[in-house]
Structure 1
Amino acid sequence: MLIKKSLNANAVIAVDLDEKEFILFGKGIGYGKKTGDKVDETVVNQTFIPLSNSEIKEYVSLLESIPPVILEITRSTVQHAEKVLKCALNVNVYFMLSDHLNFAIERQKNGILVQNRVFWEIKNYYTTEFEIGRYALKLIMQDLGIKLPDEEAANIAFHIINAQTDDSTKKDGMNYANLISGVVSIVRYSIGKQIDTHSTHYQRFITHLKFFSERFFSDSMLIEKNDTLFEQIAISYPEATEIAFMVKDYLTSVYEKHIPKEEITYLSVHINRLLNAQEIDDGKHV
């Protein structure tokens, strides 16, 4: 592969033998390079294949405006995220996240604070992604000596959540967080007692809500095919089922979507586990 253009020290546009254009990232890959130089493939960390000429122009303009150190922080953060999450992220995260970090650092220098409205939800419901965000903040402090607030860790988490997909439909972290927050509020209020947010049952409940959110926003909720199971759960766990229907009414009201019985069934099961956990904890203090 030959270099067509050096964007900065850590990014270049390269062409292969078929004259296909690629954006390549790597620490020092563009340092001192000129058009026509061979690419040092030993320092290539990620290859990008833009889908159209208009896209590559947009990315080129973006990358040329971002300092190399921020591109390197982005690359390290994404690689760390893929290792922790054990999945490949959508390559667009490199462009979107580097642009966000560059803007966040500029805001910090100018004393501008932008409040994250769902900071608490992201921190508590997307703990892995939030910690990845904190990892990025540590790199920024280490490499630039700039301390960004923890709210920026949640903003970074948004990009990581949105990038966890292999298709063109991106996850919307803010929508997910808002839905989960609303459901959890209803369940906690209905139970009427303090829930141990560190318990296994609570963590499983949150995990269930994350997968439910994916199905909900992608219109791929579970199909109603087992009325018998629904009836059994409704009879066995009446209190949990009642709370699940409160959740259903809330979601239908806010999002105007039908919630199948199959989803209500599994939601009832998880709520019942929380109820049982509360009864056990209460028994310890009798």
Structure 2
Amino acid sequence: MKIKKILNNNVVIAKDDDGHEVIVMSTGLGFSKKAGDIFRRQDAQKIFVLSDEVKGKYGQLMRNVDPVATEIAENVITYATEQKNLRLNDIIHLTLTDHIDGVLTRLREGVYMTNQLTMEIKRVYNRDFGIGLYANKLIKEKTGLEPNVDEAAFIAMHFMNNRLDCNNNDETINQTIAFVDDTMKLLETYFKVKLNEDSLYYYRFVSHLKCLLKRIIDGTTFTDDPLLYDTVSRSYENSAKCAAKIANMIKLKYHKDVSSEEKAYITIYVEKLIRECNKK
């Protein structure tokens, strides 16, 4: 591979053997090198492609950020794509690196940010929050600095906003958080319980609620299956009453009727959650 431009000691723009322009990361790769120098592909620790617009801004950023921030950001992005199977907008290479550089600066100055949505993000966007916790762990390992849990939530928001499988923006995220929060509070109030937010059933119900809200926002028509609801409601009478209250909340807040089939599914999720609570 041939170096086209050195961004910093660890990051260069290069041309691969097929003539494609790529970003290459490797510790010390840009040190004592110049444009036109050749290096082996196997010496690259990470190779990725950016759009022309993002690549120009990324090059500017690399001249001003802590190389450790770049390393951490790229390790976190790799973790998100390879371990959590996220498909991400390439601008995250820019925004996350810049954010983590700011985190390192703040932590060195003893400044700790608070995030009012931390618990809600953990509840609704559990996978993204887990990536944020992984980032916190890397920051501590690489620098000795220890971010608080609110920093994990801030980092999670970068993944929430840049996932290609979701059309997320700040308004959608806030709406989703409010919808899930309202639903879970209604459920806890109705049954007078405290739900286990780390449980598999909780995670599955949250995932279902996010899909349900998307269908509400998109105006998707709900199918009806009275027989299914009749069967489920007779088997889980109390959970069905709670599901009816959730459906009524949706009607009042979103002006959308919930089908009997959807109420049946909500009933089943509620029943599983409450059974889990009652086991403790």
- Percent of aligned pairs with the same residue? 24
- Distance (Å, rounded) in 2 between the aligned partners of 1:197 and 1:143: 30
- Distance (Å, rounded) in 2 between the aligned partners of 1:214 and 1:5: 44
**Aligned-partner residue type, residue 114 of structure 1:** M
Q: Is the 2:10–2:28 contact (alpha carbons within 8 Å) kept by the matching residues of 1?
A: yes
Deviation at 1:74, TM superposition (A): 1.4
Q: Which residue of 2 aligns with 1:48?
A: 49
Q: Secondary structure at the match of 1:249?
A: helix
Q: Normalized against structure 1, the TM-score is what?
A: 0.78
- Distance (Å, rounded) in 1 between the aligned partners of 2:181 and 2:128: 17
Deviation at 1:244, TM superposition (A): 1.8
Deviation at 1:187, TM superposition (A): 0.6
Q: Is the 1:240–1:272 contact (alpha carbons within 8 Å) kept by the matching residues of 2?
A: yes
Within-5 A mapping of 1:91-110 = 91-110=90-109
Within-5 A mapping of 1:201-280 = 202-214=199-211, 216-217=213-214, 219=218, 223-255=222-254, 259-278=258-277
* 1:216-261 per-position Cα deviation (integer Å, ceiling 9, x unaligned): 3373868415332123323433322232232233345445555444
Q: Which residue of 1 aligns with 2:184?
A: 184
**Aligned-partner residue type, residue 94 of structure 1:** H
* 1:137-183 per-position Cα deviation (integer Å, ceiling 9, x unaligned): 2322333332222210122222344455457x347655544432222
- Distance (Å, rounded) in 1 between the aligned partners of 2:255 and 2:22: 43
Deviation larger for 270-279 or 65-74: 270-279
Instruction: Tell me: CA distance 1:144–1:164, structure 2 relative to 1, closer, same or farther (3 Å).
Output: same
- Distance (Å, rounded) in 2 between the aligned partners of 1:244 and 1:137: 38
Deviation larger for 121-130 or 91-100: 121-130
Deviation at 1:5, TM superposition (A): 1.1
Root mean square deviation, CA, Å: 3.3
Q: Secondary structure at the match of 2:7?
A: strand
Q: Which residue of 2 aligns with 1:36?
A: 36
Instruction: Tell me: CA distance 1:276–1:166, structure 2 relative to 1, closer, same or farther (3 Å).
Output: closer
Q: Is the 2:96–2:155 contact (alpha carbons within 8 Å) kept by the matching residues of 1?
A: yes
Q: How many residues align?
A: 275
* 1:199-221 per-position Cα deviation (integer Å, ceiling 9, x unaligned): xxx53133232243145337386
Q: Which residue of 2 aligns with 1:145?
A: 144
Q: Is the 1:222–1:263 contact (alpha carbons within 8 Å) kept by the matching residues of 2?
A: no
Q: Is the 2:122–2:129 contact (alpha carbons within 8 Å) kept by the matching residues of 1?
A: yes
Instruction: Tell me: CA distance 1:279–1:111, structure 2 relative to 1, closer, same or farther (3 Å).
Output: closer
Instruction: Tell me: CA distance 1:216–1:250, structure 2 relative to 1, closer, same or farther (3 Å).
Output: same
